[in-house]
Amino acid sequence: MIDDSEIALAYAESVLTDAGFDVRAVSSLPAFQAVLAEWKPHMIVTDLYMPEMNGVELCQWLRREVSTARIPIVICSSAPDDELASVARAVGADAYVSKLAGLDALPERLNKLCDEILW
């Protein structure tokens, strides 16, 4: 999981860990790249608005890389649902979750995505 907001990142990590997910949470692109170099996630959750590389650019980069091209990507942002849906389709993300609804729904959405895509 990558999000430049330390507060949102810590809360999402806590919610997901409590739900049984094994989470690697980072707030910068270099840290994210370091995690990917040593650990292959089943899913990537990214914020949309980040300073080093926004979520659109990150999704496009992940889809171009052989090692990450097939990993499901979830955009998790405070943008409205209609904007998130449009962006997710445009960049090849597999799902989106709006922070506006609260991050408590994140585990349920990710579990559903795991059922649909991974298992």
pLDDT tens column, 58-72 = 999 999 999 999 999
Answer yes or no: is 1 within a domain: no
Q: What is the mean pLDDT of residues 83-94?
A: 90
Q: Would you give the DSSP letter of residue 26? A: B
Instruction: Evaluate whether 103 touches 5 at the Cβ level (below 8 Å).
Output: no
pLDDT tens column, 91-106 = 889 988 888 878 888 8
CATH number for the domain spanning 34: value is 3.40.50.2300
Q: Which domain holds residue 32?
A: 6-118
Q: Across the chain, what does the average pLDDT equal?
A: 90
pTM of the predicted model as reported, rounded to 2 decimal places: 0.91
Q: Using CA atoms, how far apart are residues 83 and 79, in angstroms rounded to an integer?
A: 6
How many C-beta atoms surround the C-beta of residue 2 within 10 A?
Answer: 25
Instruction: Evaluate whether 72 touches 117 at the Cβ level (below 8 Å).
Output: yes
Q: How many domains does the chain have?
A: 1
**Is the pLDDT score of 78 beyond 80?**
yes
Answer yes or no: is 89 within a domain: yes
pLDDT tens column, 41-51 = 999 999 988 88
